[in-house]
Amino acid sequence: MTTASFSGSNGAAKTVLVTGVSKGLGRALALELSKRGHTVIGCSRAQEKLNSLQSELAAPDRHLLLNVDVRSNSSVEELARLVMEKKVVPDIIVNNAGTINKNNRIWEVPAEEFDTVIDTNVKGVANVMRHFIPLMIPKRQGIIVNMSSGWGRSGAALVAPYCASKWAIEGLSKAVAKEMPDGFAVVALSPGVINTEMLQSCFGSSASGYQTPEAWSFKAATMILNLTAADNGASLTV
């Protein structure tokens, strides 16, 4: 398989913003995209993990990895300012940063923990869209992928805060899709069930029976790179 045949819909190199790149799906996706010749703008709150990832990316100097907390509007605003300054406005955004509550019934979930899930999974996505959509609009095309979950389309005991956050992402994505000009797509993308730290938090040792982030990232990158404006408003699954 040639690089061009799976790098994107037209084989052109893209600039892709991926939030939450320090571990799990975000890290695997960033590595896969860099391997295919695309430019990654990545952010995370874990500086040491960012440094480690930078050295592993193909052509490390081509990418921009920054310490950003998506829960903070001002932190995301600063990221957008730097991206504009360096003239690397993304063609694709993958709002991947997310967290989950410890398995507990809703009345046993501390208020602070509930807030962290909503602040990261919902407000974090809104913060990125608030500051990056205006940068993308002059390009007249762009793709925004908001990571959802099977639990954003169903319910599960003990993870009510997470379910609520992902149902919010489904609604947010469908609504923002109706606000975008022609040439753009906003989609909610469920990654499927992958062996990540978040899955281990819910499933314990049985998480090891599911596919790795590395195996997932090959399929996910191909799918994301081939999204077009025709997918606007869709709820998709890798």
pLDDT in tens, 108-160: 999 999 999 999 999 999 999 999 999 999 999 999 999 999 999 999 999 99
Which helix (H) or strand (E) segment holds residue 116: the answer is helix 111-118
- What is the predicted pLDDT for the residue at 4? 36
Whole-number pLDDT of residue 8: 52
> pLDDT-derived band of residue 93, with 50, 70 and 90 as boundaries?
very high
Across the chain, the runs of DSSP E, i.e. the strands, are: 15-19, 39-44, 64-67, 92-95, 142-147, 184-190, 235-237
Mean pLDDT of the 179-189 span: 98
> What positions carry a catalytic annotation?
162
Cβ contacts of 61 within 8 Å, gap of 6 or more: none
> What is the chain's mean pLDDT, rounded?
94
Percentage, residues of the chain above pLDDT 90: 88
Name which residue leads in pLDDT, 4 or 69: 69
Q: Which CATH superfamily is domain 15-237 in?
A: NAD(P)-binding Rossmann-like Domain (3.40.50.720)
Structure tokens at 169: 């992402």
